[in-house]
Amino acid sequence: MRRALTAVPVLVALLLATLVAVVPGGEREPRGPVDVPVEVTSYACPGGPGRSVVLGQVEPGDEAQVVRGDDAEPVEELLDPRVARSADTGRADLLVRQSGAGSGAVGHTGARRGGTLVVQRCPGIVDEAWFVDLASTSSHDSVLVLSNLSAATAVVDLALWGPDGEVEGVGTSGVVVEPGEVRRLPMTELAAGEETLALRVDRERGAVAAVVEDTAPRGRELLAAARVPGRSLGIGPLPAAGEDRVLTLVNPTDTSGRARVDALGPDGLFVPEGLDEIELPSGSVTSVALPEGLGEEPVSLAIDSDVPVTGAVRTAGSGDVDVVGAADAWSGDALVPSTVAGAPLSDLVVASVDGAAVTLQGRSGDGEVLATQELDVAGGTSVEVALEELVVDGVVEVLVRSPDGLLAATATFSRDGRASVSVLPAPVTALGPDVRWGRPRQ
């Protein structure tokens, strides 16, 4: 029988009980949720030909369990939660569980093959995951990868949309993933012949991670989940690249709408030509080519819509593709490896709508800070980081810190292809309930 990870993983903090003295008859001041340290973090790193992983953490952890999804065997070289570590995994999928209050464990996976580069952050447990710009044709196929990170059976429901409306898939309801199992679902089996698809994954039971393996005529990519639909969202930053770019938006509602796109460039906010009003038919996917000049400098997209939408931008080069999905602004600490699958970090771009102070640290494998940069990112701008001042000898990871809750960032790796990763905060803290003991009110 397959052995699974021994404890139900979380990205959820334990209950925090705070004892306070209460004067009899006195009133207690109401408070909302509070930040509490995340005690355990779990995530999955999908395998594939030539695949390798890089694991790290913001602070040293207490214990790490790293097992292969095919045989549940431990990966000995990845078990030290105090240091950044890497290993070649080949086709093996890895399931990771790390304990330690506020450790902030993060993994990245990557591979180089046939002139293409694939790099992505290893996904954690999801409740609702959206993937945009998929396909199910012979030349462009997308595969949903579901990883069960617990010892209990997981169940998800799937929903699909295309340019002509919602797509009726095959076997999309009640998809079961057994404990410790990694299951791959090609879009060609769910809804064959669709050139453009959007996918929603709803977790009904259990603890499951989701990512998409995408193979297109001009390259391969691992697609991370985009943020859930909203009326305001950001995509990017997009590194400078003078190649073809397509914006894809999905409107899953039963109401048609319009969207406006503002661009955040190095010199401030502007409206790209032809993107001031994008028609969004109800329950469908819309793709729009971005102006050629928009790729000459780093840029981010701020999208306002009168209906909830989510989306992504695909950049197609001569031999590789690069996809960046919509993400929420964040505050906290994020980790970026300096090298994944032998490909170095080539670009790091940060952006802010209202302005943000950002601290960057180049760190060694044991967390020693070897270089520091301070940035003041003006509102409405995207700023490229001078990596030669940050990634000095001995640096194996970059910590991106923003206390303002206004930051978006993208890391791009390049060698025999290119791949961009949305930089997201490490799971150091989570919102927990404010629980206080005392005399009931009279």
Give 317-366 pLDDT, tens digit per residue: 766 888 999 999 999 999 999 999 999 999 999 999 999 999 999 999 99
Amino acid 439: pLDDT: 41
What's the average model confidence in pLDDT over 365-384?
A: 95
* DSSP 8-state class, residue 227: P
Query: CB neighbours of 434 closer than 8 A, spacing ≥ 6?
Result: 18, 31, 32, 33, 34
Please classify residue 342 by burial: count the beta carbons closer than 10 Å to its beta carbon, then call 0-12 exposed, 13-18 middle and 19+ buried: middle
Residue 300 in tokens: 């981010």
Query: In this model, does residue 19 exceed pLDDT 50?
Result: no
Query: For domain 234-322, which architecture applies?
Result: Sandwich (2.60)
Please classify residue 256 by burial: count the beta carbons closer than 10 Å to its beta carbon, then call 0-12 exposed, 13-18 middle and 19+ buried: middle
The pTM assigned to this predicted structure is 0.89
What's the average model confidence in pLDDT over 217-238?
A: 92
Amino acid 441: pLDDT: 42
Residue 372 pairs in a beta bridge with 361
Amino acid 7: pLDDT: 41
How many CA atoms lie less than 13 Å away from 120 in the CB half-sphere?
27
What's the average model confidence in pLDDT over 417-441?
A: 73
Strands (E), 182-229: 182-186, 197-205, 208-216, 219-223
Query: CB neighbours of 407 closer than 8 A, spacing ≥ 6?
Result: 329, 330, 331, 350, 351, 352, 356, 358, 377, 400
Task: Go through the chain and tell me how many residues it has.
Answer: 442
Domain ranges of the chain: 234-322
Amino acid 289: pLDDT: 93
Greater model confidence, 74 or 91: 74
Q: Considering only CA atoms, which of 351, 336, 347 is closest in space to residue 406? A: 351
Distance, CA of 41 to CA of 200 (rounded, Å): 23
Residue 395 in tokens: 């640096």
